[in-house]
Amino acid sequence: MVTLLFSLAACAPQSELVKAKSDITDVREDVKENKAQIQGLQKRLDMVDANVKGTVDMQKAMADYGVKSDQITTDMQLLQGKLEENNFRIAELAQKLDDKSFKIAELSAKTEELDAKVKLLSGNTTTTVGKQATKTLEPSDLYRQAKTDYDKKNYDLALAGFQNYVTQFPVASQVDKSQYWIGECYYAKKDFNKAIEAFNKVIKSYPKSDKVAGAKLKIGYSYLNERNNAKAREYLYKVIKEHPSTQEAALARNKLKSIGK
């Protein structure tokens, strides 16, 4: 009877899990379509540029080029905005998916526990079942709480929270970001050697993460604080070379100017 009740209860989060996966698939298809459109616009821009170079009436061609180029640039900016919006939606849905998966796993564990207790207590209906286990924070709640502690400069609490996230949810959607914030916690505590280790783990364990550029930048900063200017320059140049269009690259350039190339 207990197993049946919990099986019915599990149906709701299971259906929500399927819906969340479907939503993520739809958003990813939108992202793929938007990227294809941007590539198409870039090709059009290249073709216009090639036509301009081969035109005799350069002045008229440049005027036409300017109009078409402005329109294509505007279209690309609009598509870029849609891409950023879709990426945000994917991240949001991924966190919800983490929570649904966690709830299903938690419910399954409770079902197995109660089944075992029912078997143990069969024939003794007067015996009281033990107390319910303490509720564990869901992935998104744990991440949010740790980030709040970091923003309040409670770095030790934040560090513990992010470390718990990485340990408890090693395949969850925010694990790369949690590892990055572990590095930021050590950096804020001025423990630069541990910060470098934590940031290096982001680079090695999550090479496709959008936190990789930031991790390399903060490694450079950490080496500067350790007065190792050679290693600092190495990582700052890596940011510029490997992530040229990012905000981190702009920060790396400014830092290099301040310390002298």
Element (H, E) at 44: helix 2-53
| Number of C-beta neighbours around residue 92 at 10 A | 15
Query: Does residue 1 carry a pLDDT above 80?
Result: no
Distance CA 30, CA 168 (A): 32
pTM, two decimal places: 0.55
Say if residues 145 and 178 touch (Cβ distance below 8 Å). no
SS3 134: coil
pLDDT band of 127, cuts 50, 70, 90: very low
* 260 vs 146, higher pLDDT: 146
Average pLDDT, the chain: 76
The highest-confidence range among 42-51, 60-69, 117-126, 152-161, by mean pLDDT, is: 152-161
pLDDT band of 242, cuts 50, 70, 90: very high
Say if residues 40 and 149 touch (Cβ distance below 8 Å). no
- The residue type found at 98 is D
- The per-residue pLDDT for range 154-208, each reduced to its tens digit, is 999 999 999 999 999 999 989 999 999 999 999 999 999 999 999 999 999 999 9
- Average pLDDT of the segment spanning 30-59: 64
